[in-house]
Structure 1
Amino acid sequence: MEHLEIERKFLVKSEAYKKAASTSTRIVQGFLNTDPKRTVRVRIKGDKGFLTVKGESNESGTTRFEWETQINLVEATNLIDLCEAVILEKMRFEVPYKKHLFEVDEFLGENKGLVVAEVELQHEDEIFEKPDWLGAEVTGEVKYYNSQLSKVPFCKW
Structure 2
Amino acid sequence: MIEIERKFLVSSEAFKNVAQKSTRIIQGFLNTTPERTVRIRIKGDSAFITIKGISNSSGISRFEWEKPIEVEEAEQLLLLCEPGSIEKMRYEIKSGDHTIEVDEFFGDNQGLIIAEIELRDENEPFLKPNWLGKEVTGDSRYYNSQLSKKPYTLW
Settle same-fold status: TM greater than 0.5: yes
Q: Percent same amino acid among aligned pairs?
A: 61
Corresponding residue of 1:146: 144
Corresponding residue of 1:107: 105
SS in 2 for 1:60: coil
Q: What are the within-5 Å matches in structure 2 for residues 127-146 of structure 1? A: 127-146=125-144
The structure 1 segments of at least 4 consecutive aligned residues displaced by more than 6 Å after TM superposition are: none
CA distance in 2, matches of 1:36, 1:49: 23
Gapped runs of 5+ residues in structure 2? none
RMSD between superposed Cα atoms in Å: 0.5
CA distance in 2, matches of 1:96, 1:55: 27
Corresponding residue of 1:45: 43
Shift of residue 98 of structure 1? 1.4
SS in 2 for 1:34: strand
CA distance in 2, matches of 1:94, 1:81: 28
CA distance in 2, matches of 1:117, 1:93: 9
Equivalent AA in structure 1 for residue 48 of structure 2: F
Corresponding residue of 1:68: 66
Q: Does 2:116 match 1:126?
A: no
Shift of residue 97 of structure 1? 1.0
TM-score, scaled to structure 2? 0.99
Gapped runs of 5+ residues in structure 1? none
SS in 2 for 1:16: helix
CA distance in 1, matches of 2:22, 2:72: 22
TM-score, scaled to structure 1? 0.98
Shift of residue 129 of structure 1? 1.2
Shift of residue 38 of structure 1? 1.2
Q: Deviations over 1:131-152 (max 9, x none)?
A: 0100000000010000000000
CA distance in 2, matches of 1:101, 1:37: 28
Which of these residues, 91, 95, 116, is aligned with residue 114 of structure 2?
A: 116
Corresponding residue of 1:95: 93
